[in-house]
Amino acid sequence: MKSFLNYIDGRFVRGKREFADVNPADGSVIAQVTEADQEQVDEAVHAARRALRGEWGGLTVRERAARLHKVADAIEKRFDCFVQAEVADTGKPISLASRLDVPRAAANFRVFADLVKMAGVEAFQTETPDGKSALNYAVRKPLGVVGVITPWNLPLLLLTWKVAPALACGNAVVVKPSEETPATATLLAEAMQKAGIPNGAYNVVHGFGPGSAGEFLTQHADVNAVTFTGESKTGAAIMQAVASAVKPVSFELGGKNAAIVFADCNFENAVDGLAEAVFLNTGQVCLCAERVYVERNIFDRFVEALKQKAERLNAGWPTDRSTELGPLISAQHREKVLSYYRLAREEGAVVVTGGGVPQFGDGRDQGFYVQPTIYTGLPESARCVKEEIFGPVCHIAAFDSEEQAIAMANDTKYGLAASIWTSDLKRGHRVAQSMNVGITWVNCWFLRDLRTPFGGVGLSGIGREGGIHSLNFYSELNNICIQL
Ligand code: NAD
Ligand code: 6OD
């Protein structure tokens, strides 16, 4: 049986306790994972601090960027290994891991390696009241040791989305991947070694949140900043943990994202786009649309078309290249999603399709699959319309005017992403600008340019990452003022 170990100061080390890593496709145990205790988290943080004082801290920006390109090379060299590990851990279809997760991991390193070399400094020539002048300029310095805590839905993509800019800015990191998906963060340690990233610059501690590695890391006195992706309530707990030390945080949290489909849209494009936006990764993407608002005169046609798409999704084995829909991540998460399926019925939903568990007659029946599900007929106040479910499910409601659609879409405590489907460009701009979210797509969804700001408002997060926004979070600016 495979073991996933902690990676501290350039060495793979075992902890005192272990937990099981489960394949969500059939419930089998695929590896044992070592759990980092307080002492090992301490060691990892101290190793990171030493790296900052040692070879890693002494590299120039250009040298750091060159090493990050080598990390990307090392990921690409072991592409299949990373894909297989991600598929086994998450149950996501191999086609998805091959086209999204692993290529994006390599791209994260390349993009931030290139961006950091181009990041300039601000400078101002200042006239003083007494007629003298001064030059102000800012220099970028690393924050220090950054704690990186990530979820299970896009494990490698989301981990490298934070690790790459943090390292590019000269920080050392201690990462705590999700307990559900320990594999690729561990494989990444091997890629770091191959790429010549000095010992201590990248450390991995495995474990859980409260009372385990996650909490030990966020509460550690020598961690300078915490960057976190996960549930909003976990973000709130981490915020409390770092409050007394006033540590900077970057939070990418949950969502209850809306899509607005106008009657003038390209119908086929909108249906294809929404099929992706609702069901990709079995709905386990923070950007997925769980609330779909459709203009009344195309409502029935749209609901029928999306139903056809949902019913044709191939829920195969994740390792099969033709599979389109994998299982949910765990038995516990499946129970949460099924509890919302039950609640939707209690709240009076019309079940357009799905709402249960598929039967396969093979090992997948021991896995964590659910049916892709579409509801209509719920009031906007229903819990299923208000709360993040994080499964392959959406509620579709009709609207009669642009104003009404905007009001319905914005009636949420979350504010991560929205998508607008229309052929009227002016309306596209107008509605997009009125969305209370961090990211709005028009006639597309999850189309990413890594230089753009990414993040949410309200319960969906604090701060923006991406491009210069990542560089700004992962560095401190020291303004220097020189009297001329
Ligand atoms: P989660 O919050 O349960 O766990 C995320 C990570 O935090 C895990 O590594 C976990 O071990 C750790 N953790 C849990 N409690 C902790 C604590 N008290 N202190 C320190 N660490 C702790 O989230 P999840 O279930 O893994 O992921 C799904 C959630 O993540 C969804 O809500 C989804 O919307 C959100 N998400 C958001 C984004 C985004 O970019 N906004 C991206 C992906 C996922
Ligand atoms: O594409 C990204 O950079 C990103 N952070 C995606 C987040 C997806 C949420 O599950």
Band (pLDDT 50/70/90 cuts) for residue 415 is: very high
CA–centroid distance, 434 to ligand 1, in Å, is 28
pLDDT at 451: 97
Residue 333 lies in a domain: yes
pLDDT at 285: 98
Choose one of 180, 253, 287 to mutate for the ligand 2 pocket test, by most ligand atoms within 8 angstroms of C-beta.
287
Q: What is the number of structural domains in the chain?
A: 2
pTM of this structure: 0.97
CA–centroid distance, 158 to ligand 2, in Å, is 6
β-bridge partners, 293: 260, 397
Average pLDDT (150-156) is 98
Residue 451 lies in a domain: no
- Residues whose beta carbon lies within 6 Å of some atom of ligand 2: 153-154, 158, 161, 285-287, 448, 454
CATH code, domain carrying 175: 3.40.605.10
How many alpha carbons lie under 13 Å from residue 147 in its C-beta half-sphere? 33
Band (pLDDT 50/70/90 cuts) for residue 129 is: confident
- Tens digits of per-residue pLDDT, 416-457? 999 999 999 999 999 999 999 999 999 999 999 999 999 999
Residue 112 lies in a domain: yes
Same domain, 374 and 344: yes
* pLDDT over 90 at 460, yes or no: yes
Same domain, 145 and 267: no
CATH code, domain carrying 341: 3.40.309.10
In this prediction, what percent of the chain has a pLDDT beyond 90?
Answer: 99
Residue 453 lies in a domain: no
Measured distance CA(449)–CA(383) in Å, rounded: 33
* pLDDT over 90 at 120, yes or no: no
Residue 370 lies in a domain: yes
Q: Which domain holds residue 31?
A: 2-253+458-483
Same domain, 323 and 204: no
Same domain, 92 and 161: yes
Same domain, 173 and 279: no
**Contact (Cβ atoms closer than 8 angstroms) between residue 242 and residue 249:** yes
Average pLDDT (197-217) is 98
* pLDDT over 90 at 1, yes or no: no
- Tens digits of per-residue pLDDT, 343-390? 999 999 999 999 999 999 999 999 999 999 999 999 999 999 999 999
- Tens digits of per-residue pLDDT, 261-308? 999 999 999 999 999 999 999 999 999 999 999 999 999 999 999 999
pLDDT at 290: 98
Residue 356 lies in a domain: yes
Average pLDDT in the chain: 97
* pLDDT over 90 at 121, yes or no: no
Task: Show the tokens assigned to 421.
Answer: 């489907």
Residue 450 lies in a domain: no
* pLDDT over 90 at 86, yes or no: yes
Average pLDDT (225-238) is 97
Measured distance CA(250)–CA(162) in Å, rounded: 10
Average pLDDT (316-324) is 98
Known catalytic residues are 252, 286
Same domain, 166 and 304: no
Its sign, for the CA torsion 446, 448, 450, 452, is: negative
Same domain, 208 and 280: no
Same domain, 276 and 234: no
- Residues whose beta carbon lies within 6 Å of some atom of ligand 1: 149-153, 158, 176, 178-179, 208-210, 214-215, 218, 229-231, 234, 237-238, 252-255, 286, 388, 390, 416, 456, 460-461
